[in-house]
A and B are shown apart, each in its own frame.
Chain A
Amino acid sequence: MLLPSVQRGLRIGAIAFAILTYLVLVGLPLRLGDLALPILAGAMALFFWLALRGGKSKQDVFNRQPALLFTAGLSGGLTAGLLIAALLAVFVNLTSSGVRLQPIFDKMTPPNLAALYGVAPGAIVGGELSPLAWLQQALLLTVASGVGAALVLVERWARGRPTPRISALRWIPLLLPIALFLFVLWLGMPGVTFGGNNRGTIRLLAAMVTIGAGILALRAAHPGRERQLLSLLYLAGVAYLPFTLDQFQNSVLGIVFIFVMMGLGLNIVVGFAGLLDLGYVAFFAIGAYMYAFLSAPFSSPWLSAQLQSLGIPANAPLLSFWMALPITMLAGWIGGVLLGIPVLRLRGDYLAIVTLGFGEIIRLFMLNLAELTNGPRGLLNIAPPYLFGYNLGNPRDIFILGLIGSAVIAFSAYRLDNSRLGRAWIAMREDQDVAQATGVNLVRTKLLAFAIGALFAALAGQLYAARQTNIFPENFSLFVSIDALSLVIVGGMGSIPGVVLGALALKGLPEVLRGVDEYRIVTFAALLVTMMIVRPEGIIPSTRRRRELHEEAEPVVGEDVPSVLERLAPELKSDNPDGGKK
């Protein structure tokens, strides 16, 4: 038993080494600065905890015997530590012998290397690695692995205890958002110095956590009176939020909610109807460009020429934001249908690739049809929305418009989900052929999904154009599709509150953590893969999706439960002599 646990340790250690090396190569230690040591050590302890804990039954044997658990953990830590130490030694010796690593590894600058040795400042003496640093790297990881192993034991102990059942405690998570909200308000008051220079960032973070916690609390509340009451309370709070935040905070939340609008639309296509659309940005672009054409026709060489030849002055918006709204929606709808028709016969992954191709084609056209779209120079001076002469183009009002738009779309999506069309979507997603044979018109149902999703994206696009006032083809790259898809998946496919949470986590958090912005896409990507493996149903799964993705987890009623037929059979004997005649 000892040997397998050491082997296991070696394996875990090798993986830990790979992860750390990766983090070093992408330059994270340098970016974290003084915090590198505690953060990396903490992350490693977390890693060892998760790795040692396993999850499959075959690893339980280690969990049950602390000695084996620690053998595995410590041998893993030692392995990782020694490997890292050796690698660092190689790097340092290369550097000291005049090889410049930076042309190969972009982030391998001397300060970055030094940051690696956050363990012991001064571990590099004259370009040489002191023996102390070797030891410290190994020691650090061994301690981290020990902590990880201890965490496994703590977790097991905690699991074994009965959970406290005090009904009043239930209210704590339900009322937590209110406490958070008050915290946000307090931070905004004059004279409060909490957080020093970071006060604004903390406040933005707290505001986002408040919204997220509110959504989670609403889900935890009992349906009925309790939930209704809380909803009203929270809605009032969120409506008041824009008036307490500053420009920057409002503008971040504004973009978050534009993505919520888009995500809710994509959620209909991907989550409800099960059609993986990777070119969704096309509809966002259609909305934005349509509004731009209507609002700033003078930016488009062709349009302004046309207008001039018709004798219409081309130096002013053709239509206001509100007048343009129905036209943008119609354009989105038509775009959805037009792009939907050719892909009707495609399923699953083919659909994904073709829609991706469409998205790229649209972008390339925006870039190259310079006569109409002004090419890479973009469409400029788009008008903000006005209401009774009052300019709504400031971040606060855009955030409010985003909130209203999101609410309207979420409400529509919720009602659609529980309608005849929503049922047809689910049926189609589960078994296309049977759905059709049961009477679902696949063409109509699919096109409606594309069209409704596209309409919502176009709305988001129009708001986006009004917010930016200048739009360029590069605003509509594949990554907007990927962002939108990520937030839908991370939030939970088919889950409406999940979209909001996903947008807060994926669009909001990176804004707060500005320093690590360059790691945003890598983090998304890793998150997508991890999510698919660990929790494909997302943070807030829609109940149905969870059922689909975790078939084995459901309590399956076995054959031992008699079916209705069987229970009815005896009494049938008497009233239906025909039944068993032969």
Chain B
Amino acid sequence: MALLEARGVTKVFGGLVAVSQVDLTIEERMIASLIGPNGAGKTTFFNCLTGLYKPEEGDILFDGRSIIGLRPDQITALGIARTYQNIRLFGSMTAIENILVGQHVRLRSTPLGAILQTPFTRREEQRAEKRARELLAFVGLTGKGDMLAKNLPYGDQRLLEVARALASDPKLLLLDEPAAGMNPRETEAMMHLIHRLRNELGITILLIEHDMKVVMSISDRVTVLDYGKKIAEGRPEEVRNDPRVIEAYLGPGILAETHP
């Protein structure tokens, strides 16, 4: 069974149809990409998946159950986590604290427990902290745990966002332009990390990306949106050669670039 199934998802803002009748199916342990020109509705679609927006039409099934109408925190609890196009960390919290907030849905301690410091709360906090350090190490930020999120370099902030998303034990991770604004070396490392997420942690990944090199090299499957509609879908090489995609989006220039 597919991990995520979106059927006919439509989101309208005023008169503008931002996402129109989009179907998308993602199998477990897949790395899927969502591409399309600016304003094609990619981020809007992400927001529908995470419950920030409520689609006017269509259904979204995650793990076989509909998540339409659930709050974002409920969806996170079910196992979808995300990062943001423009990094949105909790700037005045440290890296570790950011990851601890990410674990929120997996922790059980109560306010009273916190005041009384019950053995349960103390153990849970210790475990949470340990796990936060592990996640920090996993994304390669060892030793930066006590730095304020907003004081981290740009690339590290992106990594911290991934770590924060991982903290909620997601089955599906949505990455919104993970390589945006990165230099080629950083991009490469990010791609490596995405592979590790899938291979070592078994997380399914859906990403939005503009960097065609990234998309074409790591995706198992690419979906192309244009003006809110799905215009193509398939394996990277299929999509790349699809004349509609070339016409609507890639253009000869970008094709040349991806084929040196």
Contact = CB atoms under 8 A, between A and B. Distances in A.
Interface string B236-260: 0000000000000000000000100
Interface string B157-188: 01100001000100000000000001101101
B131 interface: no
Contacts of A104: none
Nearest to B140: A564
A440 B153 contact: no
Contacts of A547: 91-92, 148, 150
A430 interface: yes
Contacts of A555: 151
Contact of B101 (A418, A423, A566, A573): A423
B159 to A, nearest CB: 6
Given A440-B73, A556-B151, A572 B192 contact: yes
Contacts of A568: 140, 189, 192
A441 B101 CA distance: 12
A515 interface: no
B153 A423 contact: no
A435 interface: yes
A136 to B, nearest CB: 53
A431 interface: yes
B50 A565 contact: no
A570 interface: yes
A423 B88 contact: no
Interface string A537-567: 0000000100110010011111101111110
A178 interface: no
B111 interface: yes
B97 interface: yes
B190 interface: yes
A565 B93 CA distance: 21
A570 B185 CA distance: 8
Contacts of A439: 73, 76-77, 101-102, 104-105, 168
Contacts of B100: 420, 423
B90 A412 contact: no
A437 B188 contact: no
A436 B73 contact: yes
A565 B185 contact: yes
A253 to B, nearest CB: 26
A572 B90 contact: no
A533 interface: no
Max chain A CB contacts within 10 Å: which of B88, B105, B168? Answer: B88
B188 A580 contact: yes
Contact of A419 (B111, B141, B192): B111
Interface string A434-452: 1111111110000010001
A366 to B, nearest CB: 30
B9 to A, nearest CB: 18
B192 A423 contact: no
Nearest to B128: A420
B115 A437 contact: no
A426 interface: yes
Contacts of B195: 576, 578
B92 A423 contact: no
Contacts of A232: none
A565 B102 CA distance: 21
Nearest to B102: A438
A579 interface: yes
Contacts of B168: 438-439
B111 A421 contact: yes
A424 interface: yes
Interface string B75-94: 01100011010001011110
A433 interface: yes
Interface residues on A, range: 35 or more
Contact of A564 (B107, B109, B159, B213): B159
B151 A554 contact: yes
B65 interface: no
A415 interface: yes
A558 B84 CA distance: 21
A180 to B, nearest CB: 32
B189 A565 contact: yes
Interface string B137-150: 00111001000101
Most chain A CB atoms below 10 A, which of B51, B153, B182: B153
A24 to B, nearest CB: 44
Given A415-B117, A439-B77, A578-B217, A563 B154 contact: yes
B140 A581 contact: no
A430 B185 contact: no
Most B C-beta atoms less than 10 A away, residue of A415, A416, A573: A415
B217 A434 contact: no
A420 B120 CA distance: 13
Interface in A385-440: 411-412, 415-416, 418-424, 426-427, 430-431, 433-440
A416 B110 CA distance: 10
A165 interface: no
B162 to A, nearest CB: 11
Interface string A225-239: 000000000000000
Contact of B114 (A419, A579, A581): A419
Contacts of B185: 565-566, 569-570
Nearest to B106: A439
A159 interface: no
A414 B151 CA distance: 26
Given A423-B93, A564-B156, A437 B213 contact: no
A415 B115 contact: yes
A324 to B, nearest CB: 21
Contacts of A448: 111
Interface string A357-369: 0000000000000
B155 interface: yes
Given A422-B114, A438-B73, 11 more contacts: A415-B115, A424-B101, A426-B97, A437-B82, A438-B104, A440-B101, A441-B71, A563-B159, A564-B144, A568-B192, A581-B217
18 contacts: A418-B114, A420-B107, A423-B93, A426-B101, A427-B101, A436-B71, A438-B81, A438-B101, A438-B102, A439-B105, A548-B91, A554-B150, A557-B152, A564-B189, A565-B140, A566-B183, A568-B140, A570-B185
Interface of B: 50-52, 71-73, 76-77, 81-82, 84, 88, 90-93, 97, 100-102, 104-105, 107, 109, 111, 114-115, 117, 121, 125, 128, 139-141, 144, 148, 150-156, 158-159, 164, 168, 182-183, 185-186, 188-192, 195, 213, 216-218, 258
Which 10 pairs of residues, A with B, have the shortest CB-CB distance?
A563-B155, A419-B114, A569-B185, A439-B105, A439-B76, A565-B186, A565-B189, A547-B92, A563-B153, A565-B155
